[in-house]
Amino acid sequence: MTKKSKSGSSKNRSGRFSEPVTGLTKRFTASLDFDKRLAPYDIRASVAHARMLNAVGILSAKDFAAIQNGMKQINGEIASGKFPWQLELEDVHINIESRLIALVGDAGKRLHTARSRNDQVATDVRLYLRSAIDEISKLIKAAQNALLDLAEKHAATVMPGFTHLQVAQPVTFGHHLLAYFEMLKRDSERLTDCRRRVNQLPLGSAALAGTSYPIDRMQVAKELGFDGLCENSLDAVSDRDFAVEFTACAALIMTHLSRFSEELILWMNPGFGFVEIADRFCTGSSIMPQKKNPDVAELLRGKTGRVNGHLVALLTLMKAQPLAYNKDNQEDKEPLFDTVDTVVNSLKIFAEMLPGIRVNREAMRKMATQGHATATDLADYLAKKGLPFRDAHEAVAKAVRFAVKRGCDLSELKLNELRQFSKLIGKDVYPVLSLEGSIKSRSHVGGTAPKQVKAAILRARKQLG
Ligand code: ARG
């Protein structure tokens, strides 16, 4: 147990105060319940700080060794759940420091030289977020690989492509899946870019104005793997742009997962009947025995709202905050941590669910034949034979109207029926009007032809390495 100071109930309650805080104030100002998760980063940063203090002659080798040993023990205590956390001690930083002092005495009391909790917490959060970004980047890659595996199986599977959720043109399911691969690719790039700004060291800025000690910030940055230093002490202790930026990246990741989820939910409706999601990702109803609900997809969609909310919370937290550190900033953690947890869990289950998607090729094909999906192909056919595209468009519109009246697809009209709309139409029109013909013809980079889908998958696999 730590010794309590005479004048107050916690270590940052010095002789400056004449009365202890009320229980309510204590609970209201404490962050321990949620910032505990920063402990491993706090310890690493403290050891790096102590090593530097020793290197520049502020701390003796003996004291540094004591701090290092004490921190080792504390690490073990935390890992094994034996650490004596005390809400009295407000946050993770004071808890660890107090325990260190209890373990190693005066050496522990010297650790906080040339440092403040303001630059300490900013450093911890950046270290935490950097490792979260690295984990999320790996999970994005896993989801991308799962998309590629499914796309490979369905490089030639025909489905209706939609605009306005109306049948527009045939596409391949593989091509559709690759659209999500692209979204995740951008997400991954955004995170890599965000990481550069996360990975700058605030430590050394102390409370706000820097410190009078001859510190070596670069040494600390190197030990902790930072790319560089936050270059203005006032900015360093108050900046939370990196958390906002990360949460914006996360909101986009969730947005992408929610778009795919929404499609799965629609496609699982028997009206579409395009896919079945494996039972292990679905749940039943407590009243309707026949139900199989796509709960995982629905929750992925729903959790997007939560991350969007965190983004707005962080932006609002920072809006109009005067320099430098304000206690408001303690409120950065819960939204940030929950964003990380939500994105990590969502990406994991998304990647696991993808191989559990069974495709009903027939249902996809059937809907593709029902919406005159090859009308544009007919217009292109006429335009290639010399008819100006606008006139071709009009001729095909009339042909579609005729087919609608007949209750059949364009491709089911007889040649003489089609020729009422243009004499340029010949027997060679039928492959053009077929789903396969339409798809095969869109053969350029970014097109839906199976050949292009396969090439895109190869490129994608190479990119992922
Ligand atoms: N728990 C605090 C936070 O999360 C640590 C920094 C406290 N600094 C202070 N000057 N009260 O922001």
Going by C-beta distance under 8 Å and a sequence separation of 6 or more, which residues neighbour residue 426? 415
Split at pLDDT 50, 70, 90, the class of 410 is very high
* Ligand 1 centroid, distance to 17 Cα (angstroms): 18
pLDDT of residue 186: 98
Kindly state if the Cβ of 117 falls inside 6 Å of ligand 1.
yes
Query: At residue 38, does pLDDT exceed 80?
Result: yes
The reply to whether ligand 1 has any atom less than 6 angstroms from the CB of 95 is no
**Burial of 423 from C-beta contacts in 10 A (0-12 / 13-18 / 19+):** exposed
Burial profile 14-48: b = 16 or more Cβ within 10 angstroms, e = fewer: eeeeeeebeeeebeeebbbebbbebbebbbbbbbb
Confidence of residue 384 (pLDDT cuts 50, 70, 90): very high
Beta bridge partners of 357: 277
CATH 1.20.200.10 in the chain: give the residue spans: 118-365
Which one is predicted more confidently, 292 or 2?
292
pLDDT in tens, 302-315: 999 999 999 999 99
Nearest-atom number in ligand 1 for the CA of 31 is 1
Question: Does the C-beta of 327 come closer than 6 Å to ligand 1?
Answer: yes
Instruction: Say if strands 228-229 and 200-201 run parallel, antiparallel, or are unpaired.
Output: parallel
Cα–ligand 1 centroid distance for 312 (angstroms):
22
Burial 146-180 (b: 16+ CB within 10 A, else e): bbbebbeebbbbbbbbbeeeebbbbbbbbbbbbeb
**Residue 329 Cβ contacting ligand 1 at under 6 Å:** yes
- Report CA(29)–ligand 1 centroid distance (Å): 9
Query: 3-class SS at 63?
Result: helix
CA of 326 to the centre of ligand 1 (A): 8
Closest ligand 1 atom number to CA of residue 325: 10
Q: Is the pLDDT of residue 287 over 90?
A: no
| Position 3 pLDDT exceeds 50 | no
Superfamily of domain 370-464: Fumarase/aspartase (C-terminal domain) (1.10.40.30)
325 lines ligand 1 (CB under 6 A): yes
Which amino acid type is present at position 433?
A: L
Write out pLDDT tens, residues 66-75.
999 999 999 9
Dist. CA 236–CA 206, nearest whole Å: 9
Supply the pLDDT for residue 12.
Answer: 65
pTM for the full predicted model? 0.94
Residue 176 has pLDDT above 60, yes or no: yes
**Ligand 1 mean position, distance from CA 353 (Å):** 41
Asked which of 355-364, 403-412, 454-463 is least confident by mean pLDDT, the reply is 403-412
Predicted confidence band of residue 7 (pLDDT cuts 50, 70, 90)? very low
Q: Give the number of other Cβ atoms within 10 Å of residue 133's Cβ.
A: 21
Cross-strand bridge partners of residue 277: 357
How many angstroms separate the alpha carbon of residue 122 from the centre of ligand 1? 9
Specify the domain boundaries for CATH 1.10.40.30 within the chain: 370-464
Q: Is the pLDDT of residue 331 over 80?
A: yes
pLDDT of 120 higher than 80: yes
Architecture of the CATH domain 3-113: Orthogonal Bundle (1.10)
Calpha distance 183→253 (Å, rounded): 8
Instruction: Work out which ligand 1 atom sits closest to the CA atom of 329.
Output: 12
Q: What is the DSSP code (8-state) at residue 269? A: S
Give 439-448 pLDDT, tens digit per residue. 999 999 999 9
The per-residue pLDDT for 6 is 42
* CA-proximal residue: ligand 1, atom 11 (nearest): 327
Ligand 1 contact via 118 beta carbon (within 6 Å):
yes
Please give the pLDDT value at position 11: 56
Coil vs helix vs strand at 256: helix
164 noted as active-site residue: yes
DSSP, collapsed to helix, strand or coil, labels residue 428 as: coil
Burial class (CB in 10 A: 0-12, 13-18, 19+), 128: buried
Structure confidence at residue 285 as a pLDDT band (50, 70, 90)? confident
From 7, 60, 285, 443, active-site residue = 285
Question: Which CATH number applies to 118-365?
Answer: 1.20.200.10
The residue whose CA is least distant from atom 7 of ligand 1 is 117
Task: Find out whether the beta carbon of 243 lies less than 6 Å from any atom of ligand 1.
Answer: no
The predicted model gives 40-64 an average pLDDT of 98
Taking CA atoms, 243 is separated from 134, 313, 340, 383, 464, in Å, by 15, 11, 11, 53, 26
Average pLDDT rounded to a whole number, residues 278-289: 88
Protein residue with its CA nearest to atom 3 in ligand 1: 330
- Beta bridge partners of residue 283, listed in sequence order: 293
Residue 457 confidence (pLDDT) above 90: yes
User: What local confidence, expressed as pLDDT, does residue 286 receive?
Assistant: 86
Give residue 14's pLDDT band: very low, low, confident or very high (50, 70, 90). Answer: confident
Catalytic residue of the set 164, 212, 286, 444: 164
Q: How many helices (H) and strands (E) does the chain have?
A: 20, 6
Q: Counting Cβ atoms within 10 Å, is residue 82 exposed (0-12), middle (13-18) or buried (19+)?
A: exposed
- Ligand 1 center from residue 96 Cα (angstroms): 14
pLDDT (mean) for 360-388: 95
Please list the residue range(s) of the chain that carry CATH number 1.10.275.10. 3-113
Pocket test for ligand 1, best of 34, 97, 117 (most atoms within 8 A of CB): 117
